[in-house]
């Protein structure tokens, strides 16, 4: 299944290359809501909240009222997670808060799972060079994404795996890396990081893995088709 991504920064929809370089910027919130209206789920990430420099709560609430959303960015506490669910989010995505310098922070993961329920918590696993990265992908931990998935499995209903090495580059994602993480857990895996083609989405879907797509949509590289809007319609690989 294709999950379109809405990243928010400074009150606008944006797309960043490698989490740093601004490549797309749009004020057309209503226009993108209309484009994504028929998708079963849309991913919303508040980049300002994630980076600890304010938030886009008003826009997040607007998007959650208009679209079925899974929301992340700055989910560091149980109260923040609950507030996003109260705003209408279907699920919340937690990242850096689930880790410490030593690896997975089991106590934090358990607290979040108890606060929102396991099935509404998505654990983010961001990977660069085969290691988990946190704090806006700037801090590398001595833990593999597969080990993180195994340790976090009791607390999360799904994993958002982002292959940072290819994120935003429109060069395609590493299928091998995604499948390695999927093999380490029985939970649902959602993949992100440079996905650009229908072939990739179809290949992931055939393995039960959802695909988050951002840059390819906003750049017009990937155009919606009926199978993208209706997950019950099979993907045609071409």
Q: Where are the domains of the chain?
A: 2-229
- How far is Cα 147 from Cα 129, in angstroms, rounded to an integer? 14
Q: At what angle do helices 175-183 and 198-206 cross, to 10 degrees?
A: 20
Sequence-ordered list of residues with C-beta below 8 angstroms from that of 120, at least 6 positions apart, any chain: 85, 90, 91, 92, 157
Active-site annotation, residues: 7, 126
* Res. 227: pLDDT tops 80: no
* Res. 113: pLDDT tops 70: yes
128's tokens? 């660069």
Report the top-level CATH class of 2-229: alpha beta
Which pLDDT score, from 0 to 100, does residue 187 have?
A: 98
Which pLDDT score, from 0 to 100, does residue 231 have?
A: 59
- How far is Cα 228 from Cα 137, in angstroms, rounded to an integer? 29
Which residues, in sequence order, are bridge partners of residue 206? none
Which pLDDT score, from 0 to 100, does residue 234 have?
A: 40
The pair phi, psi for residue 58, each rounded to 5°, is -60, -45
14's tokens? 């944006």
């Amino acid at each position: 299944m294709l999950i379109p991504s809405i990243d928010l920064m400074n009150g606008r929809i944006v797309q960043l290359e490698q989490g740093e370089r601004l490549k797309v910027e749009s004020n057309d919130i209503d226009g993108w809501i209309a484009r994504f209206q028929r998708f079963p789920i849309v991913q919303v990430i508040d980049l300002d909240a994630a980076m600890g420099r304010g938030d886009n709560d008003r826009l997040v609430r607007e998007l959650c009222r208009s679209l079925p959303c899974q929301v992340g960015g700055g989910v560091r506490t149980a109260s923040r997670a609950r507030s996003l669910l109260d705003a209408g989010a279907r699920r919340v995505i937690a990242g850096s808060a689930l880790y410490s310098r030593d690896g997975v922070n089991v106590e934090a993961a358990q607290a979040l799972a108890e606060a929102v329920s396991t099935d509404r918590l998505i654990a983010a696993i961001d990977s660069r060079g085969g290691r988990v990265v946190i704090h806006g992908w700037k801090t590398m931990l001595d833990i593999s994404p597969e080990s993180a998935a195994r340790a976090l499995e009791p607390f999360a209903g799904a994993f958002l795996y982002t292959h940072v090495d290819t994120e935003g580059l429109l060069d395609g994602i590493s299928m091998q890396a995604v499948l390695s993480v999927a093999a380490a857990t029985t939970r649902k895996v959602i993949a992100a990081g440079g996905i650009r083609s229908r072939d990739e989405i179809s290949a992931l879907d055939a393995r039960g893995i959802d695909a988050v797509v951002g840059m390819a949509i906003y750049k017009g590289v990937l155009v919606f088709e009926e199978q993208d809007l209706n997950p019950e319609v099979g993907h045609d690989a071409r």
